[in-house]
Amino acid sequence: MTDEKITQIPDAQAIAEGAEVTKEMAAAYTGSTMDTDKMWIIMGPQHPFSHGLWTLKICADGEIVTDADPIVGYLHRGWEKEVENRTYTKIIPMADRLCYAASMTYTHLFCMTCEKALGIDVPEKTKYIRIVADEINRLQSHLMWLASVGTDFGNYTVFLWSTREREYWMDMNVRLCGARLTTNYPRIGGVRNDVFDIDCDLPNDEDHSRFLRDLVRCCDHFDKALWEIVGLVDNNSTFMSRMLGTGIITREQCANLGITGPAARGTGIDFDIRRDNPYDNYDQVDFDVPVINSGDSYARYMVRVEEMFQCTKIIRQCVQKIKALGRSAPYRLKVPSKIPAGRTFCTLEDPRGESMMYLHSDGTDHPYRLKVRSPIFVNVSASKPLLEGCRIADVPIIMAMIDMCLGETDR
Amino acid sequence: MDLQIREYQDSWEAEIKSKLEAKFAGKLTVTGTQTRKVLAKVDKSIIKELCLYVRDELSFEHCISVMGNDLGDAEQKMEVIYHIENYTLYKGVILEFTVDLSYDELHIETVSDVWGGANWHERETWELYGIVFDNHPRLERLLTPDNYEFFPFRKSYKLREAQ
């Protein structure tokens, strides 16, 4: 499938393998014999494709990209240094601000790292509540990505439909923790509030909560709605011709460059931390990890869409488990404010890839060193191999498949 | 290289530990093993050789991060910490290598040619800590402005106290 498309660009395969773009090759493609000296084009920091403040410098030979140089750092605020002056509790809302599209995962990761350093195990119910919260965030992050891909393609309907569906998950977020984006929900030793305490002013029966009921209804609705959006993309030849066979990287390149998450699973890397290095109770939940081998933009798109279906599958199972544990099960432990001296690290499957926190504690109530590994920071550093040999018009689509989020990239 | 994916077994950490200690006796000490984690203290002279070994022989394909850590004036040294992950033969296992560098000699060999993903991590570590990665293809400032004169994550660089 991809091989047919790639032949549309003469010598694209050779360029992807590192061959120099000659004037003859460019002339064969453009049909022009004009002088085709290379030219650096600066896209950003405020550019419709960039979805945040960053700059992509591309070197174009005619219409073909031969080199790329991403420039980040516009949002660098020294997060890792700032937190060294703050107590562990005060870092929780700061961790929210690392990624505005999926804030829950970073707060979750921070709390999980502290719990590991303290050597405590959170209650069963908390683990399932955190999984539900994470998956809601994964869904809204992926839907925001799908919406932005729609505008990158110039298809406004995809944008509108995706954001419409995202609102349902936003509403669930608001009911769970009172905020749309910066949720401030996980706590060291648990979560802020129980899922059974939500909507107290409305009649809840003894065993079930209206929130859990509505969560399942949301899942039922979303599974149908997502098929409609997917139909809008998959039946559209414009989408397909711009995704199939563009931005190809191989599995080996991808692993070596450190690309993780849906982008890596789109090249055939069969790895998901939720399954292969499970945290919380992901090992108690049944779900599939979508893996596609073709390594082009379409593969990355398909992996994300399939992940959204798996999210609802996970949420449904967790709702059952939370209901079985019941209202009386504990959801939060009391924890000391000081963490004993030592070092620990945790990894977590963020919607965008693999995030990691490394905590070096010195026995006080604030960290000595807290390192954040952002998946996008590494993914965007691989811009050159992703873009080499593609056309300038394909740059926004290929970069959109990375799902940029500058808050976590620059930290 | 055999890239067959294997399911996790309890014996892997001990297996990796014995392989590393046999290969780099005297220069590498395994300080601990946890589930899917092997932690080691490494002499800086073997870091490149070690990274090539774990990539080529043990199939650790993915460099999660390279980070710096300033241990302060009392110890007069910094650390470079590597986290490396496996996708196939030891699926899910993460290696942690800690290298000590004294304040007088903040130099270490780059591993960005072993794993391309380490490139930006090393640039970041250099600009924030001043640890020089020898033979790095492009050791330039990344997050801070080009004309910035400080290494802001060092402990000697004081921030205002929290309110």
Quick: pLDDT tens for B33-66. Answer: 888 899 999 998 899 999 999 988 888 989 999 9
Q: Do A90 and B65 touch (CB under 8 A)?
A: no
Contact: B116, A90; criterion CB under 8 Å: no
Helices within A260-346 (DSSP H only) = 262-265, 273-276, 297-325
Q: Residue B31 phi/psi, 5° resolution?
A: -90, -15
Q: How many domains does chain B have?
A: 1
**Tally of helices (H runs) and strands (E runs) in chain B:** 3, 7
Please report residues of A whose CB lies closer than 8 A to that of B148: none
> Where does residue A291 rank: exposed (0-12), middle (13-18), buried (19+ CB within 10 A)?
middle
ipTM metric: 0.90
Cβ–Cβ below 8 Å for A81 and B65: no
pTM over 0.80: yes
Report the alpha-carbon distance of residue A401 to residue A404 in Å, rounded.
8
Work out the average pLDDT over A107-125: 91
Establish if B160 belongs to a structural domain. Answer: no
How far is it, in rounded angstroms, from Cα A124 to Cα B128? Answer: 40
Beta bridge partners of B33: B38
Mean pLDDT of A41-58: 83
In a domain, B153, yes or no: no
Residue B41 lies in a domain: yes
Cα(A351)–Cα(A105) distance, integer angstroms: 8
Residue B8 to residue A345, Cβ atoms within 8 A: no
Q: How far is A233 from chain B (nearest CA, A)?
A: 32
Residue B3 within a domain: no
Question: Which residues lie below 8 Å from residue A228, measured CB to CB, with a gap of 6+?
Answer: A161
Confidence of residue A209 (pLDDT cuts 50, 70, 90): confident
> Largest Cα–Cα distance of chain A, in whole Å?
78
- Measured CA to CA, the distance from residue A196 to residue A187 in angstroms comes to 17
Query: How do the residues of chain B divide into helix, strand and coil, expressed in percent and rounded to 5?
Result: 25, 30, 50
The backbone region for A399, taken as left when phi is positive above 0, alpha when psi lies in -120 to 50, beta otherwise, is: alpha
CB B102 within 8 A of CB B17: no
What's the Cα-to-Cα distance from A94 to each of A84, A140, B135, rounded to whole Å?
12, 20, 36
The answer to whether position B157 is within a domain reads no
Q: Which phi-psi region, left, alpha or beta, contains residue B15 (left: φ > 0; alpha: ψ -120 to 50)?
A: alpha
Residue of chain B with shortest Cα separation from A252 = B61
Q: Give the residue-averaged pLDDT of A31-46.
A: 75
Residue B36, domain member (yes or no): yes
Q: SS3 helix, strand, coil % of chain A, rounded to 5? A: 50, 10, 35
Q: Which residues of B touch A269 (CB under 8 A)?
A: 87
pLDDT digits (tens, 9 = 90+) for A356-408: 999 999 888 889 999 999 999 999 888 888 888 888 888 888 888 888 888 88
pLDDT digits (tens, 9 = 90+) for A293-333: 888 889 999 999 999 999 999 999 999 898 888 788 888 88
Query: CA A24, A30, A32: angle at the middle one, nearest 5?
Result: 70
Of the candidates A153, A129, A174, A307, the residue with the CA atom closest to the CA atom of residue A236: A153
| Residue A7 vs residue A136, higher pLDDT | A136
Q: How confident is the model at residue A31 (pLDDT cuts 50, 70, 90)?
A: low
Tokens of A300: 């990355």
The closest alpha carbon to A188, from A128, A83, A80, A107, belongs to: A107
Instruction: State pLDDT tens for residues A63-115.
Output: 888 888 898 888 888 899 889 888 999 999 989 888 888 888 999 999 999 99
Query: Is A72 touching B (CB cutoff 8 A)?
Result: yes
**pLDDT of chain B, 163 residues: tens digit per residue:** 446 788 788 888 888 888 888 888 888 888 888 888 999 999 988 999 999 999 888 889 899 999 999 998 888 899 999 999 998 888 889 999 999 999 888 889 999 899 988 999 999 999 999 899 999 998 888 888 888 888 888 888 877 765 4
The answer to the question of residue B83 being in a domain is yes
- Check residue A204 and give its pLDDT: 58
Per-residue pLDDT band at A1 (split at 50, 70, 90) = very low
Tokens 């890397």, residue located: A269
Q: Are strands A55-61 and B28-34 parallel, antiparallel or unpaired?
A: unpaired
Domain membership flag for residue B140: no
Between B64 and A27, residue with greater pLDDT: B64
- Tell me the chain A residues in contact with residue B161 when contact means C-beta distances shorter than 8 Å: 85
DSSP state, residue B152 = T
User: CATH code at B68?
Assistant: 3.30.460.80
Domain that holds residue B46: 12-134
Residue of B nearest to A251 (CA): B61
Structure tokens given for B123:
């640039």
A211-240 pLDDT per residue, tens: 888 889 899 999 999 988 888 888 888 888
Distance, CA of A26 to CA of A64 (rounded, Å): 7
